[in-house]
Structure 1
Amino acid sequence: MAKVLVLYHSTYGHIEAMAEAVAEGARSAGATVDIRRVPETVPEELARKSGYKLDQKAPLAKVEDLPGYDAIIVGAGTRFGRMPSQMAAFWDRAGGLWATGALNGKVGGAFASTATQHGGNEMTLMSIIHNLMHFGLTIVGLDYGYQGQMGVDEIRGGAPYGATTVTDGDGSRMPSKAELDGARYQGRRIAEVAGKLAVRTPEYAG
């Protein structure tokens, strides 16, 4: 049975909702799943004034816990077409894991959000994926087995690189059923692949 980490940063709650759906999908494949969020780097006073969702229940992640997982699924909103600084800062602290190859062979994936359909969803996914590949993770995206990413009858997130949602400029649009279903599908696929590969060296076994 695979052990999966859903690691996210969510400013207004959209990615938090997607993380829950990713976790549901992974659990449906029999995986043990932890949901963790990276530390917020924006000062609390400014975050409150800006309307950040500060009551998120997921515990804070620790870099030293990463090797204990078979799969790490990373989610974040876009920041000018790339992952936000909060998520980048967390991975920048993981240099020791990179140096020792502690994450080599584990399974990874990405999910994201943007304000508009063309606001950088795919670029943000790829910025996360590029980072994970440097740490040696094998990437699983949102394959076209999930047909809910197809069609133009409604606003739809989703790309072959990972599940996404579109929030609107004021953040008023929460993830749709199709977008949450895509997140569940990707979570399940990643857990399935991780269960088959399950590369965990003895010195880093959790």
Structure 2
Amino acid sequence: MNNTTTAEAVTAPYALILYYSRNGQTATMASQIARGVARVDGIDARIRAVPPVSPDTEASAPAVPDEGAPWCSKADLAGCAGLAIGSPTRFGNMAAPLKYFLDSTGDLWLSGAMAGKPAGAFTSTGSLHGGQETTLTSMMLPLLHHGMVICGLPYTEQALATTTTGGTPYGPSHWAGTDAQKPLSDDEKALCQAFGQRLATLALKLR
């Protein structure tokens, strides 16, 4: 029997899974991470995306996306108990749309709104050695500047030792193939879910 009241449901802590996805692979990883969060009682998963960066001076993305996760707001970010950020690799770094969004969070940095919360990163690359680890570690830099506590994947996760596709101790990763045709492997799914579960557990402990 569920005894949760409406007020409790509204104020339940949540782990924010924030991503940019070009071909859908990073979005699929976000869904797997949310499954891991769902394993932990007392915390919800909230999936949000960031829009592409407009090539002109006028905003061209719709206010509400036609499909996929809603766009992330500053309130989503400020209110989270834990944060996972995801992006495809762009020359060993995060894609411009995610960085553009993070670059707009100076007010949250100034107020210390994110300090002390756990956070980590996930990525997808076209080639197996296409900069997964440099992308993940570079994505951690703004998280550290916000005073967040970095969450990775420990080697107690067996899939780190058995994976022949993606998966790193710095966070979940996926080898998508040059045409983004490869689905997530079982090991990649397991590591995404383990990461979500670990992030949610830390969020409740640090809250």
Please report the TM-score for the alignment, with normalisation by the length of structure 2: 0.86
Q: Which residue of 1 aligns with 2:179?
A: 170
Match of residue 161, structure 2, among 128, 150, 153: 150
The answer to whether residue 51 in structure 2 is matched with residue 39 in structure 1 is: yes
Name the CA distance, whole Å, in 1 between partners of 2:78 and 2:54: 27
Q: 8 Å contact 2:16–2:76 — kept in the other structure?
A: no
Name the CA distance, whole Å, in 2 between partners of 1:95 and 1:11: 26
Name the CA distance, whole Å, in 1 between partners of 2:97 and 2:23: 14
Q: 8 Å contact 2:162–2:187 — kept in the other structure?
A: no
List aligned pairs for 1:68-83, cutoff 5 A.
Answer: 68-83=79-94
Name the CA distance, whole Å, in 1 between partners of 2:66 and 2:128: 27
Name the CA distance, whole Å, in 2 between partners of 1:42 and 1:147: 41
Q: Which residue of 2 aligns with 1:59?
A: 70
List aligned pairs for 1:40-189, cutoff 5 A.
Answer: 40-42=52-54, 56-151=67-162, 155-189=164-198
Name the CA distance, whole Å, in 1 between partners of 2:45 and 2:187: 22
Match of residue 8, structure 1, among 19, 30, 41: 19
**Which aligned runs of 4 or more in structure 1 are off by greater than 3 angstroms?**
none
Could you tell me which runs of 5 or more consecutive residues in structure 2 were left unpaired when the two chains were aligned: 1-11, 56-64
Q: CA deviation at 1:170?
A: 1.3
Please report the TM-score for the alignment, with normalisation by the length of structure 1: 0.86
Name the CA distance, whole Å, in 2 between partners of 1:122 and 1:156: 13
Identity of aligned residues (%): 37
Aligned pairs, number: 187
